[in-house]
A and B are shown apart, each in its own frame.
Chain A
Amino acid sequence: MIRFALHRAASLLVTLVVAVSGLFLVLHASPGSPLTNLAPSVAADPEARAAVARETGLDRSMAEQYGDFWASLLHLDLGTSLYDGSSVSEAIASAAPVSFQLGLMAAAVAIGPGVVAGVVAARRRGRPADAAVRVLSVVAISVPSYWLAVLCLVLVGERWPDLVPAAGGYTPFGTDPVASVRSLLLPAVVLGLGGFAMVARSLRSSLVGVLDGDDVHFARAMGMPEHQVLGRIALRAVAPSTVTVVGLLVGGLVSGTLLVESVFALPGLGQLMVTAFVRGDHPLALGTALVTAVVFLGLNLVVDVAGVALDPRARRRVAAGRT
């Protein structure tokens, strides 16, 4: 099990290194280098241009820059922002907790109600509750978060202004947990809605399949009460596939923070990345992308390992070395 986790981690690390190197190359080959985005007065002056190039290290060979890039990465130094000269690492460190808390709350919104809705729909297949879950999940998956966020800002903001965080009005969890959770409640619901639909739908369809299975039939034929059929057999059987869906949901949450944070003006990683791209602030953009990738891959690793841990057959395959 641990060997499997380490093996997966190593292979993800290799993928990450390849992807980051690719990113580095694209960034340096791209037409949008910092030198093309200079103020006209600076761009016209060759000396000023050269100064900027020297300062940003862009006058040296690609190989040297690449080496420096990794050297500073290993020191957790992601460079300085082209926009205001502040440290990229510090900017990310202050933004990360916001996104982390938002993501966690959104995941809770998605998974908890999603599991309940999926189980209810599967057990009442073809009845009104099932139809309601189906309609709700199609709508939830189809409504774009950015539009819903805009609507919420107004509709909820008018009646319960407390629930809508003011621009940049995030309260750190450490300062006041209640206010902090309240300020992120609405964004978390908006962000988690799509995930809720994914969990509910997938759980419903896999549960329906399992409840039609021979093992459930045998258990019922031998008099096992329905709640035990669900707990002992059905939910256990669908756990691995549900975990896989949670893995997909992670991608949706990470993407969604970009949009939801900008609507609610939350000072998180997503907004930082968008701002960096809009301003052409390459070091900041690269830094946020890198952190996003690390977080995303890390969560995927957790999901992969959990999926295997929950399925004894997969556990045995892994133990036998057939990964």
Chain B
Amino acid sequence: MPSTAIDPPVLVVDGLQVRYGHGAGAVAAASDVGFELGRGEVFGLVGPSGCGKSSTCGALLGLLGKTASVSARRLELEGRSLLGLDDRGWRRVRGRRIALVPQHPRSALTPIVAVGRQLDWYLGPHAVDRHAADLRALGLESVVARPRDLPSSFSGGQLQRLVIAIATLGSSPALLLADEPTSTLDPTVAASVLDVLAEARRRTGSAMLFVSHDLAVVAQVCDRVGVMDAGRLVEVGSPLELFEAPRHEVTRRLVDALPTRRRAWAPARTSPAGGPPVLELDHLYRYHGRAPGRSGPPSAVVVRAVDDVSLAVAPGELAAVVGESGSGKTTLARVVAGALAPTAGVVRLDGVELSAARSRGDRRRIALVGQHPRSAFNRRRRLGAALDQVQRVHGIGASRAERTDRSAGMLARVGLGAEALGRRPQELSGGELARAALARALLVEPRLLVLDEPTASLDPPVKRAVLDLVDELRRDLGLAVVLITHELDLAWTVADTVSVLDHGRLVASGPLAAVLDGDRHPRVAALLERVPADPRGPGRR
């Protein structure tokens, strides 16, 4: 619904400045930001974290706190200026004319108050009864049925619908501020939440400012997109313009980071070394739940996290294991790496069965890189000491100086300078830590590298770079790699084979083409479905 020339704009932002602090130490979070939103228009604001999207949003709500100072040539909602409003003035705007769809619905709702009560706060008494039909229409039957439950007993997707209900059912706001509303959701859930948001907007006719770091989502949702970098709006255009002809470098980087079917469906590479498999999993089981005999009653529900999985990985092969959250893929990674003992079944490395109590030598041959690079390192140790430690315990390098040389060499391989050796984890970015974690894993020269969602917490451009690095390293080092991920599109850009895990069971396994083409298992089809559509194609929601 692009704006027509006759309608006055809903929102006018002109020359917006947001600064934190005073005097010489002041930091500008947004400088000279300007854009307009027509009635019913959706404007996307994208950019890397820290680019000033959130400060721009906060300025529109007057909620940046006392340390921030906001100035603008014009900041107008429906023709009325938002500059210099007092508390009472803001309260007439917030929730009535501007409504927020927050990033983290789970923390946006108070954890210790029943959802029904919280609906009453925002929508008036007996909100659940009065709005039962609307709530059902938004897919919130569960809230209508259980209004006395706490937010923690609803899923992330349900809670996101709930905050959308709060934002749109009470009044018809002129402007919806959607602050990364789907960034914490699974792709399928995200898609349905976007549908709900579109439906709600159709009802209220609100314009929407849609903030995201994910270009693919923005392209689906928005009429126009603004790209922000370092506090400035560097480029504005329709999604198609931005994708086809990105003018600014930041835009180009965002577009490049989008998953593409680079080697999709290519026939599996025959493993260069050939020979017997590096890793074999033979009818592997891992059940969670309290074992009988421990104190307390045995847990009634035993979770079959890994349920009869058999798999072989050849030398030099990159095997992707794909599944939704809760499918048991992390448990599988931890069992293979020896962090958990299997309930039954055998893990073989180079044809030799590994015992549940791994020897130090076994541990050296299988390296694990976990999901959260932020917590992969002891926060009080410098990176140099951490990299030294793993070499020392395995007797690598005769002296500390020699080990430091090896560390520096490995850091260079993963794209980090030697100065990182003197840094503490807090002083490195998420992407740098992911690289450092890879370096630590590779320093002990493992046979097999297990990567458990190594990029899940990274921004798309960084994600891409780390994945390319993994691909390059395993070719150079002839390493076998097991890549655990929930993003099928990630897997198909680098993997040779793919295995799909569902409720702990392997439902499909083999070369990419064999699994993804032709006669697909329904699970595989579902996973394919949720891969974000190519933004250059049609399919806008």
Contact = CB atoms under 8 A, between A and B. Distances in A.
Contacts of A232: 110, 113, 121
A265 B195 CA distance: 75
Interface stretch (B45-53, B87-95, B406-414, B470-478): B87-95
A228 B167 CA distance: 18
Interface in A222-238: 222-226, 228, 232-233, 236-237
A219 B102 CA distance: 11
A4 to B, nearest CB: 16
A221 B113 contact: no
Interface stretch (A32-40, A78-86, A209-217): A209-217
B102 A218 contact: yes
B63 A223 contact: no
B166 interface: yes
24 contacts: A213-B107, A214-B102, A214-B104, A215-B107, A215-B109, A215-B110, A217-B63, A218-B108, A218-B163, A221-B98, A221-B99, A221-B100, A222-B166, A223-B91, A223-B93, A223-B94, A224-B121, A228-B121, A233-B110, A236-B110, A237-B110, A311-B112, A312-B150, A313-B111
A237 B61 CA distance: 24
B111 A222 contact: no
Contacts of A54: none
Contacts of B61: 220-221
Assign chain A's interface to a size class: 20 to 34
Interface in B95-135: 95-96, 98-100, 102, 104, 107-114, 121-122
A316 interface: yes
Contacts of B95: 221-224
B152 interface: yes
A225 B114 CA distance: 20
Given A218-B102, A219-B121, A233-B110, 5 more contacts: A220-B94, A221-B94, A221-B177, A232-B121, A236-B112
Interface string B251-278: 0000000000000000000000000000
Nearest to B97: A223
Contacts of B166: 222
Contact of B108 (A126, A215, A311): A215
Given A224-B95, A224-B121, A214 B108 contact: yes
Contacts, number: 72
B91 A313 contact: no
Contact of B167 (A217, A222, A233, A313): A222
B150 A313 contact: yes
A215 B94 CA distance: 15
A313 B111 CA distance: 8
Looking at A126, A215, A220, A224, the one whose CB has the most chain B CB atoms below 10 A away is: A215
Nearest to A233: B110
Given A214-B107, A215-B109, A313-B111, A220 B63 contact: yes
Interface of B: 61, 63, 66, 87, 90-96, 98-100, 102, 104, 107-114, 121-122, 150, 152, 163, 166-167, 177
Nearest to A126: B66
A134 B489 CA distance: 55
A316 B100 CA distance: 30
Contacts of B96: 223
Interface string A294-323: 000000000000000001110010000000
Contacts of A222: 94-95, 99-100, 122, 166-167
B415 to A, nearest CB: 35
Interface string A117-148: 00000000010000000000000000000000
Most chain A CB within 10 A, of B121, B152, B166, is at B121
B169 to A, nearest CB: 12
A315 B66 CA distance: 37
Contacts of B150: 312-313, 316
Nearest to B166: A222
A316 to B, nearest CB: 7
Contacts of B110: 215, 232-233, 236-237
A316 B151 CA distance: 13
Interface string A46-81: 000000000000000000000000000000000000
Interface-central residue, B93, B102, B110, by most chain A CB under 10 Å: B110
Contacts of B63: 217, 220-221
Contacts of B66: 126
Nearest to A322: B296
B87 A226 contact: yes
Contacts of A224: 95, 121-122
Contacts of B122: 222, 224
With a 10 A CB-CB cut-off, give which of A219, A222, A225, A316 has the most chain B CB atoms.
Answer: A222
B126 to A, nearest CB: 17
Contacts of B92: 223
Nearest to B66: A126
Contacts of A316: 150
B60 to A, nearest CB: 10
Contacts of A214: 102, 104, 107-108
Contacts of A213: 107
A226 B90 CA distance: 12
A215 B92 CA distance: 20
Contacts of B111: 215, 313
Contacts of B121: 219, 224, 228, 232
A214 B104 CA distance: 8
Contact of B113 (A126, A223, A225, A236): A236
A141 B152 CA distance: 38
| 9 smallest beta-carbon distances between A and B, as pairs | A223-B95, A222-B95, A214-B107, A223-B94, A218-B108, A221-B100, A215-B110, A214-B108, A223-B91
